[in-house]
Amino acid sequence: MKDELRAKTVSAADAAALVKSRDWVDYGGSFQVPVLFDRALAARKDELEGVRIRTCVSVRPAEVVECDPEGRHFLWFNWHFGAYDRSRNKDGRCNYIPMNFGESPSYYRRFLDPVDVACFRAAPMDADGWFNFGATNAHLKAMTEKAKVVIIETTRAMPTLDGEQNAIHLRDVHHVIDGGDEPLAELPSAPITDVDRRVAATIAEQIEDGACLQIGIGGMPNAVCATLKDAGLRDLGIHTEMFVDGMIDLIESGIANGARKQIDTGKAVFTFALGSKRQYDFLDRNPALRSYPVDYTNLPHQISRNDRVVAINNTTQIDLQGQAASESDGHRHLTGTGGQLQFVRGAYASNGGKSFVCLASTYERKGVRRSRIVSTLTPGNIVTTPRTDMMHVVTEYGSVNLKGKSVAERATALIGLAHPDFREDLAREARANGLIPRHFW
């Protein structure tokens, strides 16, 4: 095995030399994006044209983008934006690919052209010849199945996790780049505000013993984790898309022990993780955790196999009919659909399940305070969760379950969750637009 590994080990420059003009190249996502290979490919800029590169949630600048401001040599495509991708999208250098995250493995298997070169970071080979995908499983197995050439860039910083389809064997790898111990990028936890704590407290009151949690990214979800730690709940489970720092305390305290889960009993399940070094150390070889491909974690029929699923996600704007726009600001793309809609639907289909979409009632732009609850979505805004799927909506002013409510009842309830300074205008607009009839009680 070691002899075969030595034979397949190449320099980053030799690996990058395999890429041809107009190839499709896949980088995986987040901190699995290769570092040495990306640098070596950027060095070949003047030799190449129209190389198309796919990735997801960039956590550091991409050399292939930075070296090519006009995008003539390298085209950058992305399944879900991080801050870097947003900045490059504004410059016209990054293009979003719409998808429900849980469907991404089938995209590779059913719809996409073969991947010419796949290169991503993984843990060094173990004694049995396996390279562990580490903290991101997602669609990597499906991606490698469709790849003509698979290149692994190893890093000793990558945690190793138990799971399904979360490793690739040396026999299925064409080349290996020794990436040494290059550290993983970290994502600082968003600071928790008073608004976050009030929203978290409202949600925590509606969570029962034995609930199975999906928690998204941001200050509010982290506040929920902190609140649940002190809420006296027992036997919580975790079946989530993203593993976040706030989940560590829930597991270490024994609150989230997964004892009442119907599948993966006793295990916290996720498809990718991103956070602090503390998180990566916690993940490494932890028997309480399991990593699965995203079609296992995110497809609604899989989510609903557990009882009492509680899905908690953020949005940035919601209209008076209950449509949540969670991924754009008008025509400016911010993030992605991700798993929000799939977990909203999976939680609804779960026995005793609940979904919560939460938001601060206001935000500030250029010194002006604006309402996140609006009569009409900002032109160009993308609807992530339709009104027909919306269940609980939560702001710092309370919570409402929209299931079964008429348009007029929805509008009235959501006005009650808006900041008091905006309620009168929202009510006037709702009546002017016919959402609330003149004599509605």
Tell how strand 268-270 and strand 237-238 pair up.
unpaired
Distances (CA, A) of 99 to 23, 27, 30, 103, 142: 22, 17, 17, 7, 16
Tell how strand 373-374 and strand 368-371 pair up.
unpaired
Reported for 20-23, long-range contacts at CB under 8 A and 24+ positions apart, including other chains, are 20/48, 20/51, 20/116, 21/48, 21/49, 21/50, 21/51, 22/49, 22/50, 22/51, 22/52, 23/51, 23/52, 23/116, 23/117
- Both structure tokens of 20: 């041809």
Distance CA 227, CA 259 (A): 20
Residue with tokens 């490793």: 167
Catalytic pick among 145, 241, 327, 396: 241
Write the DSSP string, 367-429: TEEEESEESSPPTTPPPSB-TTT--EEEETTEEEE-TT--HHHHHHHHHHHS-HHHHHHHHHH
- Residue 241 annotated in active site: yes
169 beta partners: 130
Q: What is the dihedral of CA 33, 337, 303, 279, to 10 degrees?
A: 40
Residue with tokens 């905006």: 422
Distance CA 151, CA 193 (A): 43
- Both structure tokens of 421: 């300074």
Residues marked active site are found at 241
